């Protein structure tokens, strides 16, 4: 099937919401660590608690002032995963008479966590909230869904949850195929996607060397998390590992090396120009303006847009979301100083850049998920937090951050510098 590059028909169906009084007071993220690496045995809950505690410490907000925790994780990675949002909130210091909500909008879960917290703060339901996203890709289970009542001889079915989740059973294609569909629609070639990936790695390396990612990351050590009246829990790193303090997938990756890799899905995408599989978490503290003025806020959450697109080109989702957002607020892409979009695949991210009309020097300026990884639910919060920090460095006013989501969705969040 041939796909158009005109997404105007999908702009009209997008949902756009503005927020009157929602500010990001502080944030933090864990290092993003390669699959089965130093964080491979740490549950998403404990990764989320670490990020949330660090975000609160940086914000200066007393945890007791939190009115809610909005937390997301796409996969269940521990036997207490049902309690994930509640445990993140309580072990971050939220009072036990406050509530927690778990959400899942696939790869845009982090953006949704920010949107829901911003909505509650702006409506006056509470003065502050935690938005958290955490993902242990390493601890995705090998699962069986049909054996509760037993099984017949030879009919045992255990499957790799992580592998199976990469195939959209309704759309009838894998996530990689959706990127190949966009590559065909936009005429994106293999040399172009390899050049995109090489640029992502080079920019991420430069960000590490300049200390930009050090500003985001809260290093992880062995830790115990305690809360009054609760059984303590914590993080235990592998033997011999004392601290994890940087993203592990970032490395010198020249285009000549990328060009030697074979196709992963029969087209332009390879393992080298697709997002890295990593474990990690991110969190931000969202408050009303009165509380924000008592600290040093990073910026204001202006609005959010969510759009639907065909499942077979799910990666283009941020385009109609972004266009709807700009149209609703009377802005143009030239008004946006920084655009941060998740790099699920190089062809997908380049299609989004072209679809929005963003100049290369304002798009993923410190690299993206191809270089440092995509821990699903954490990505949206990481994108917004990183965009705000870069906006401050550049002295700009507006930044947009977004991602696509499997099944055919996209989100975009607009933030304004404090």
Active site residue 383: no
Half-sphere exposure of 221 (CA within 13 A, CB side): 3
- CB-based contact 74:377 (threshold 8 Å): yes
**Are 126 and 93 a contacting pair, CB within 8 Å?**
no
Largest CA distance in the chain: 66
The residue from 74, 107, 173, 383 that is catalytic is 107
> DSSP letter string over 145-160?
SS-TT---TT----EE
- Residue 60 near residue 295, CB atoms below 8 Å: yes
Helix, strand, or coil here: 342? coil
| Cβ count near 364 (within 10 Å) | 29
Is 107 an annotated catalytic residue? yes
Q: Are 353 and 360 in contact (CB under 8 A)?
A: yes
φ/ψ (deg, to 5) at 201? -65, -45
Pick from 414, 281, 272: which is nearest to 338 by CA?
A: 414
Q: Which residues are catalytic, by number? A: 107, 404
């Amino acid at each position: 099937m041939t796909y158009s590059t005109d997404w105007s028909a999908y702009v009209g169906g997008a949902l756009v919401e503005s927020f009157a009084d929602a500010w990001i007071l502080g944030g933090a993220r864990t290092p993003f660590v390669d699959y089965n690496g130093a964080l491979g045995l740490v549950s998403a809950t404990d990764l989320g608690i670490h990020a949330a505690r660090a975000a609160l410490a940086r914000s200066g907000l007393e945890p007791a002032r939190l009115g809610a925790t909005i937390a997301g994780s796409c996969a269940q990675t521990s036997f207490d995963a049902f309690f994930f949002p509640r445990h993140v909130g309580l072990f971050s210091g939220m009072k036990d008479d406050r509530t927690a909500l778990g959400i899942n909008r696939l790869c845009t879960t982090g953006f949704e966590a920010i949107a829901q917290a911003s909505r509650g703060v702006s409506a006056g339901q509470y003065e502050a909230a935690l938005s958290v996203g955490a993902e242990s890709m390493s601890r995705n289970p090998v699962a069986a869904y049909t054996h509760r009542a037993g099984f017949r001889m030879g009919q045992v079915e255990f499957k790799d949850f992580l592998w199976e989740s990469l195939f959209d059973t309704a759309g009838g294609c894998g996530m990689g195929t959706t990127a190949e569909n966009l590559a065909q629609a936009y005429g994106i070639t293999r040399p172009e996607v390899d050049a995109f990936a090489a640029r992502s790695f080079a920019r991420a390396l430069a960000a590490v060397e300049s200390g930009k990612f050090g500003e985001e990351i809260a290093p992880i050590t062995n830790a115990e998390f305690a809360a009054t009246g609760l059984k303590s829990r914590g993080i235990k790193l592998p033997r011999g590992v004392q601290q994890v303090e940087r993203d592990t997938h970032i490395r010198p990756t020249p285009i000549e090396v990328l060009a030697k890799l074979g196709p992963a899905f029969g087209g332009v995408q390879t393992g080298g120009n697709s997002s890295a599989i990593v474990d990690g978490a991110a969190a931000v503290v969202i408050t009303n303006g009165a509380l924000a003025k008592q600290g040093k806020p990073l910026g204001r959450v202006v609005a959010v847009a969510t759009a639907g697109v065909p499942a077979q080109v799910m990666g283009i989702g941020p385009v109609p979301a972004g266009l709807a957002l700009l149209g609703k607020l009377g802005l143009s892409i030239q008004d946006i100083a920084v655009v941060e979009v998740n790099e699920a695949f190089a062809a997908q991210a380049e299609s989004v850049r072209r679809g929005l009309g963003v100049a290369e020097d304002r798009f993923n300026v410190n690299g993206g998920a191809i270089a440092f990884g995509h821990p699903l639910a954490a990505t949206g919060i990481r994108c917004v937090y990183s965009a705000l920090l870069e906006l401050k460095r550049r002295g700009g006013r507006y930044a947009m951050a977004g991602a696509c989501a499997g099944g055919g969705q996209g989100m975009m969040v607009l933030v304004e510098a404090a």
